[in-house]
Amino acid sequence: LGLVISKNLVKMMGGQLWVESAKNHGSTFCFTLPFHIGASVEEKQQLRKNLGEPVSAMKLLLVEDDAVSRNVIQRLLQEIGHQVDTAVNGVEALSLWRQKKYDAMIMDIQMPELDGIETTKRIRVAESDTGNHIPIMALTAHALVGDRERFLAAGMDEYMAKPVQMAELSEKIELLSQQNQRGDFTAISSIQINDSGEVVYVSAVADSLKKAPSALTGINAMLVGIDEETMQDVNQIEVVAHEIKGLANQIGSDELISVAFKAELAARRGNLEEALEHIRHISRICEEYKKTGI
C-alpha cells in the first residue's frame, strides 16, 4: 500500500505506525491497533439462536481465491449449521461439482484461471443436457449498479456483496434453500451455436438486457489503435488502460475493469512488460465477449 497510506489507515483505526532502523542491519516497521474482545461462547450461541436454525443443513461449495475471505465465510457458514467444501478458482470448482452433489454454490466473481461468471456459464451449459440446476450465489467486492441483473444474466441465482455479514449470509442461504425446494430458478432461454461453432449459453434474463455494444466497440478500436510507438511508452499505455477501464465500467464487466486497472497500475509503476501483458489479456477477454455476445 505504501507507508503514507498505511500510516493513515492505522491512524484512522486508532493505532500507531513507526519504524525502527539500524545501519547495516535493516529496518523494522511496526504498528499497533486496538481490537474489541471477541464474543464469548455464550454470545455466539445467542447470535446463532437469534439468526434461527437453518431450514435444513445444506452441503455447500464455496469458491473464493482469497484465503482470508474463504476462511471467514467458511466459518460463518459452519456456524449456522452447513457443511462446506472450498475451491480456490473455477477450475477446482468444476472438478468438485462433477465429483460431488452440492445443494448450492457460493461463487466469487474475480478469480485466477477461471472466473465466477465463466464457471457458472459452463455449469449451466452442462446442466442443459441433464435438466438439473444447482443454485449459485455470486460473491463480489464490487457493488455496482446493474451487478445483480448481470450476474442473473450469466446464470446465477443470487448476489451478495463483500464484506459478508452473518445475518445477510444466513438469509441468502435460506433463500437458496427455498429456491432449491421449489425449483424456482433463472430459466435457460437457449443454447446457441455461434459463428465459430461454439456452444453459447443464453439465459432468459440475458435476452432482455440491453448491453453496451458501443463501449465494447470502443475498447476494440483502442486495442487495434495501439502501435509500436505506443507499446514502448508507459505513459501512453497508462492513458489507454484508464480509458478502457472507463468503457469497461459502462459494460459492467468486473473482469475487464480489474484487468484494465492492473494495466494502468503497472504502467504507472513503469513496468511496461506487465502492463502490456494485461493489455493482451484485455484483448483476449474482448474476443470472448464477441464470441458469446455478452
Between 21 and 251, the higher pLDDT residue: 21
Between 146 and 198, the higher pLDDT residue: 146
Angle at alpha carbon of residue 77, lines to 92 and 98, rounded to 5°: 25
C-alpha cell at 202: 443464453
Q: Which of 32-46, 74-88, 260-274 has the highest mean pLDDT?
A: 74-88
Question: What is the rounded distance in angstroms from the CA atom of residue 232 to the CA atom of residue 211?
Answer: 33
pLDDT of 225 above 70:
yes
C-alpha cell at 151: 450476474
Q: What is the pLDDT of residue 262?
A: 84
pLDDT of 10 above 80:
yes
Question: What is the rounded distance in angstroms from the CA atom of residue 124 to the CA atom of residue 224?
Answer: 33
Q: Where is average pLDDT lowest: 39-53, 82-96, 98-112, 223-237?
A: 39-53
Residue 31's H or E segment, with its range, is strand 26-32
Q: What is the pLDDT of residue 199?
A: 43
Q: What is the pLDDT of residue 159?
A: 84
Between 227 and 113, the higher pLDDT residue: 113
> Smallest Cα–Cα separation from 94: which of 115, 67, 123?
123
Q: What is the pLDDT of residue 293?
A: 52
Give the rounded percent of residues in the chain with a pLDDT score beyond 90.
Answer: 21
Q: What is the pLDDT of residue 61?
A: 96
Convert the pLDDT of each residue in 242-266 to its tens digit: 888 888 777 666 677 878 888 888 8
Question: What is the rounded distance in angstroms from the CA atom of residue 280 to the CA atom of residue 36?
Answer: 46
**Cβ-based burial of 198 (10 A; exposed 0-12, middle 13-18, buried ≥19):** exposed
pLDDT band at 74 (very low <50, low <70, confident <90, very high): very high
> What mean pLDDT, rounded, does the chain reach?
79
As a whole number, mean pLDDT of residues 69-74 equals 91
Phi, psi (5° rounding) for residue 276? -65, -35
As a whole number, mean pLDDT of residues 205-229 equals 67
